[in-house]
Structure 1
Amino acid sequence: MSQLKEFLGLLNHSFRNLLPIILVVGVFQLLVIQQVPEAWLGMVIGLLVVILGVALFLHGLELGIFPIGKNLSNEFARKGSLPWLMVFGFSLGFAAVIAEPALIAVATQAETISAGRIDGFVLRVLVAVSVGAVVALGILRIILGHRLHWYMIIGYLMVVTVTFFAPAEIVGLAYDSGGVTTNIVTVPLIAALGLGLAVSIRGRSAMIHGFGLVALAVMVPMISVQLYGILVYSFGEAAEVATVLPQVSDSSASIPQGGSHAGVGGILLGMLGDLIEMFRDVLPIILVVLGFQYLVIRKHIAHVHKVAGGFVLVIIGLYAFVVGLKMGLFPIGQSMAEQLIALDQWLFVYLFAFSIGFATTMAEPALIAIGHQAEEAAKGRLKGNTIRLLVALGVAVGITIGVHRIISGDSIHYYIMGGYALVIVLTLLTPKDIIALAYDLGGVTTSEVTVPLVTALGIGLASQIEGRNVMIDGFGLIAFASIFPIISVMSYAILAERLARRRSTSRA
C-alpha cells in the first residue's frame, strides 16, 4: 500500500512538472492562435504517456538505483579510498548520463536532422565519458580543497576557443548536449556525492567545495562534442541535411513499428525490440551499482526483490517516456512554432519563449532540490524561492534571446562566446561562496519535459523560417537556458554584496 501511495505521489509530481507547459500552450492556443492543432488527440495521449513514463522511471530510481548509489558513496567516503572514489565517480557519471532521457531525445533529433552524419549512440557515449571523467576530476578537486572558479574560468576559455574553430553545424548541438547531461538521474546522484564528500572531510565547506560537480558535468561535454564535430565535418562527404523533421500525423505513427512486420503482432514485436534496446541503455548503471556492491564493497544488497523491481520500472519508464516524446512533446513544439510563425507577429513568438522558459523552470524539481540544499548550506543567507525566481528569469531571458537568434539568422558563435565571456568576468567579481552554486544552477534548469519541447521549438522555427538551416540554427536554445541563469544569479550576488557593504559603511 505504501508503494502505491509513493507511486501516486510521483505520478502527481510528474503531472505538476508538465502542468506549466500545458497551461502556457493552452493559453496561447485559445487566446492567441485561437485554433486547435490537427493531431491534438495524439499529442494529449503522448503527454499522458510522458507523465506515466517519468513517474515509473522515478519510482524505479527510488526503489533500485538511488539506495545502492547512496550506500556506495557513503562506504567509499568512510573508507577514504581516493582511487576507488574516483573510479566510482567516473562509473557513476557515465552510467547515469548514458541513460539520461533528455540526452536520448537530443541525440535522436541530431541523428535525424544530420541524416545520420551525427551518430546518436556515439554522441551519447562521448557525452557520458566526458561526464564520468569530469566527475572523477571534481571528486579530486573536493579532496584537495581547490576552489571551483579557476577550473571554470580555464574550462570556459577552452570552450570559447574550441567554438571559434568548430563547424557551425555542431556548435548549438554541443552546447545543448552539455545542457541536458544534468537531469533526473545525474543531479541527485552527483550533487549528493559532492555535498556528502565536502561535509565528511575536515576543512571543507559545503557551499564552496560541495557544489560544482554538476557545473563541471555541463561544461566538459561542450568541448568534447565540438571536437567530435570538427572530426565528423572535416572528413568525408557531407550528407544532405534534412530541413524539416518527420511529422507525426497520428498516434500509431509514433509507436515503434518493428521494421517491416505488419499488424498487431509486428507492433508488439517492435515494442519488445525497443524494450530490449532500453535495457541495453540502462545496463551500464545496473552493472556499475551491482559491480561495486559485490566486487568492491562485498556486501549483499538488502531487499533484492525491491531493487530488481526498481530496475524493471526504470526500463519500462524510459521506454514510455521516449514513446510519449514522439507522440506528444515533439509535435507540440513543432506545431506551436508553425502556428506562431503563421500569425506573422514575432512578438507572440518571443512571449511564448519567455513564458515557457519561466513557467517550466519554476516547477523544475531538480532546481527545487538544489535550492533547498543551498538554503541549508548557506544557513539562511540564501532563500530557496529567491534562487528559483532568479534562475527562472534567467532561463526565460535566455530562451527568448535564443529564439531571437534563430529569427534574425545570427551566428550562434558570437552569442555563446559573448555569453561565456560575460560569465568569466562575473566569476572574478562574484563572492567566492556563491560561484559553485551559480554554475550548478545553470546545469539544473532543463527538465526531462522542458528539453524536448524547447528542442522541438527551436527546430520547428528553423525549419519554418526561410533561409535557416535546421542543423545550424535549430539547436542551441538549451545552451541559452544554461548560460543566463548563471549570469542572473551571479549578478544578484554581486549586487547584494555591494548593497550589504554600503549599509554596513553607512551604519559605521
Structure 2
Amino acid sequence: MEQYFKDFQISFIHALRNLFPIVAVVVFFQFLILQQMPNDAMGMLIGLLIVAFGVALFLQGLELSIFPVGKSLSNQFAERGSAPLLVCFGFAIGFSAVIAEPALIAVAQQAQDISEGRIDAFTLRILVATSVGFVTGLGVFRIIAGIPLHWIIVPGYILVVVATYFAPEEIVGLAYDSGGVTTNIVTVPLIAAMGIGLAASIRGRNPLRDGFGLVALAVMVPMISVQLYGIVVYSSSAETLNIASEAVASEHSVTPHFLLKIFFDLASMLRDVLPIILTILFFQYLVLRRPLSNPARIVFGFSLVIVGLYAFVIGLKMGLFPIGNNMAEQLIHLDRVFFIYLFAFMIGFATTMAEPALLAIGKQAEEAAAGQINGNTIRYLVALGVAVGITIGVHRIISGGSMHYYVMTGYILVVFLTLLAPKFIVSLAYDLGGVTTSEVTVPLVTALGIGLASNIEGRNVLIDGFGLIAFASIFPIISVMIYAIVSDLVAKYHKVNL
C-alpha cells in the first residue's frame, strides 16, 4: 500500500506539472494584460486541483489494471500467431479504451447540452468508440499484411473531405473534434505499444515505418462516421429535437439528493469502464482460457479508474470549463483581437510541450528510428504546429469563416504532403497529430472555442464553437512533414555536393 501511495504522489505531481503551463498563461494574461482577477478564482483553483487529483487516480488505475492486462493479452495473442484473433482483439481494445476516454466524455456532453439534446452524448460516444475499434482492427491487419500506411490514409482523408462537403455545418467542427479527442490518456499508450510491439515481432517489419499509424487511423475514421451521423440527425424533424431535449431535461432532474447524485454519477462511470472490463474477461477466460494474474490488484486498479473519472469530470465543471469561458469573455470585451490570438498561441504551445503522450511517442520514435529522429525536435515541431493550428482556429471563429473550407484545405494539404514526404516519417507524423490534445488541453480549448462563439455577435455556438481540437490535430502533421521534406532535401543536396 505504501508503494501505491508513492506512485499516486508521483502521478499527482505529474498532473500538476501538466496543469502548470495553463495556470502560467492564465496568470500572465490576468495580471499583465487584463489587470483583473477572474470571477470565482478560488473555485477555479479548487477545480484544477480536483482535475489533477482525478487524473492521478485515473493514471494510477490504468497502470495497475488496463495497461498490464492489455500488454499481456497482446503478447499472448502474438505468441499464438493468429491473425483473426489479433484483429478481433484490436477492435475490442480500441472500442473499450475510447468509450472510457475522459476528453471524449467532456466533448460529447458539451455537444449534447449545446444542441439541446439533438446530438445524444452516449450515442456519439458509442459511434466514435465503434469507429476506433473498427479501424484499430484494420490497423492491426495492416501491420500483419505489411500494407503501407499511405495506401489507407490517403483515400481515407479524401473520404473525410468528401464527407465534410456534404455534412451539415452544425456537425463538422464536432466531428473533427471527436476524431481529435479519441487518442488520449487511455488510447495512445495502449494502441501505440500494441502497434510497435506487433511490428517488432514480425520478420520484415520496421517498427518506425510499420509500428506507428494505429493512432492516426483512430483519429481519421470517427471524423467520417460522426459527419454521417450528423447528416442523419440534422435531416430529422424539429419534433425529434424537442423529444430529445425533454429526455435530457428529465435525465438531469432525477437526483435531488447530493449523496444519491454521487451514487448515480459513480454508477455511470462504472458503465463507461465496463466495456474494458468485459473485453479483458472475455479474451482472457473464454478465448485464451487463462486466469488473470493478481486479480485483486486489477480490481483495485479499476476502482481507482472509476473514482478518478468522477473526480476529473467534477474538476472540469469547476475549473477548466470556467477558465476557458471566462478568458474568452474577458478577451472579447478587451476589444483587442491580437491578445486573443496571442492567448490561443501560448496555450497551444505551452500545453503541448507538457503533453505526456507526446513525450512517450517522441521517445518511442527516437528509439525506433535509430538516429534518424530527435525526440526534442519532434516536440518543438508538434508544439509549434498546435499553437499555429489553434490560432488559425480562433481566427476562423472571430472572422466567421466556414469550417468546411478550412478543414478541407488543411487535409488536402496533408494528403499532398503525404505524397512528398519520406515514407519513414508518414506514420509517425499522423500519429503525432493524434497525441497533441491531452485530457487537460481538450476541455480548456473546447471551452475557449465555445466561449468565443457565445460572446461574438452573429456566431452559432454549435457551428462555430467546436473545431479548435481539429486544428490542433491537423497542423502538427503539416509541420512534421514539412520538416522531414526539407531535411531530406538538405541531406540530398549535401550528398550531391560532397
TM-score tier, shorter chain, comes to over 0.9
1:437-490 Cα deviation digits (max 9, x unpaired): 000000000000000000000000000000000000000000000000000000
Aligned to 2:439: 448
> Is 1:467 aligned to 2:450, yes or no?
no
What's the CA shift for 1:44? Answer: 0.9
What's the CA shift for 1:228? Answer: 0.1
Q: What one-letter code is carried by the residue in structure 2 that aligns with 1:375?
A: E
The change in CA–CA distance for 1:345 and 1:63 in structure 2 (over 3 A counts) is same
Aligned to 1:386: 377
The farther-off stretch of 4-13 and 168-177 is 4-13
What's the CA shift for 1:257? Answer: 8.5
Aligned to 1:100: 101
1:150-192 Cα deviation digits (max 9, x unpaired): 2111000000001000000000000000000000110011001
C-alpha separation between the residues in 1 aligned to 2:113 and 2:35? 31
The farther-off stretch of 65-74 and 36-45 is 36-45
The residue correspondences of 1:324-403 to structure 2 (distance < 5 A) are: 324-403=315-394
Match of 1:445, SS state, is coil
> Is 1:482 aligned to 2:477, yes or no?
no
Aligned to 1:55: 56
What's the CA shift for 1:384? Answer: 0.6
Aligned to 1:319: 310
Q: What one-letter code is carried by the residue in structure 2 that aligns with 1:455?
A: T
RMSD: 1.1
The change in CA–CA distance for 1:301 and 1:488 in structure 2 (over 3 A counts) is same
What's the CA shift for 1:3? Answer: 1.6
Aligned to 1:195: 196
C-alpha separation between the residues in 1 aligned to 2:454 and 2:70? 42
The residue correspondences of 1:62-461 to structure 2 (distance < 5 A) are: 62-237=63-238, 239=241, 259=254, 261=256, 266-461=257-452
TM-score (norm 2): 0.97
Q: What one-letter code is carried by the residue in structure 1 that aligns with 2:341?
A: Y
C-alpha separation between the residues in 2 aligned to 1:294 and 1:277? 26
Aligned to 2:18: 17
The farther-off stretch of 32-41 and 115-124 is 32-41
C-alpha separation between the residues in 2 aligned to 1:18 and 1:286? 30
- The answer to whether the 8 Å contact 1:207/1:433 transfers is yes
1:219-265 Cα deviation digits (max 9, x unpaired): 0000000000000001212749xxxxxxxxxxxxxxx997352xxxx
Q: What one-letter code is carried by the residue in structure 2 that aligns with 1:259?
A: V
What's the CA shift for 1:31? Answer: 0.6
C-alpha separation between the residues in 2 aligned to 1:91 and 1:113? 31
Match of 1:161, SS state, is helix
What's the CA shift for 1:17? Answer: 1.0
TM-score (norm 1): 0.95
Q: What one-letter code is carried by the residue in structure 2 that aligns with 1:70?
A: K
Q: What one-letter code is carried by the residue in structure 1 that aligns with 2:254?
A: G
Identity of aligned residues (%): 68
C-alpha separation between the residues in 1 aligned to 2:282 and 2:56? 27
Ranges in structure 2 where 5+ consecutive residues have no aligned partner: 243-250
1:482-507 Cα deviation digits (max 9, x unpaired): 00000000000000000000111110
The change in CA–CA distance for 1:258 and 1:16 in structure 2 (over 3 A counts) is farther
Aligned to 1:42: 43
1:279-315 Cα deviation digits (max 9, x unpaired): 0110000111122111112222222111110000000
- The answer to whether the 8 Å contact 2:180/2:473 transfers is yes
C-alpha separation between the residues in 1 aligned to 2:236 and 2:347? 39
- The answer to whether the 8 Å contact 1:50/1:324 transfers is yes
Ranges in structure 1 where 5+ consecutive residues have no aligned partner: 241-255
1:62-88 Cα deviation digits (max 9, x unpaired): 001111100000000111111111111
Match of 2:238, SS state, is coil
Q: What one-letter code is carried by the residue in structure 2 that aligns with 1:184?
A: I
C-alpha separation between the residues in 2 aligned to 1:291 and 1:146? 29
Q: What one-letter code is carried by the residue in structure 1 that aligns with 2:307?
A: I
- The answer to whether the 8 Å contact 2:100/2:273 transfers is yes
Q: What one-letter code is carried by the residue in structure 2 that aligns with 1:78?
A: E
- Aligned structure 1 segments of 4 or more residues deviating by more than 3 angstroms: 256-260
C-alpha separation between the residues in 2 aligned to 1:298 and 1:274? 34
C-alpha separation between the residues in 2 aligned to 1:445 and 1:348? 23
Q: How many residues align?
A: 488
C-alpha separation between the residues in 1 aligned to 2:143 and 2:218? 15
- The answer to whether the 8 Å contact 1:358/1:395 transfers is yes
Aligned to 2:28: 27
C-alpha separation between the residues in 1 aligned to 2:7 and 2:464? 42
C-alpha separation between the residues in 1 aligned to 2:23 and 2:81? 47
1:330-387 Cα deviation digits (max 9, x unpaired): 0000000000011000000000000000000000000000000000000121111000
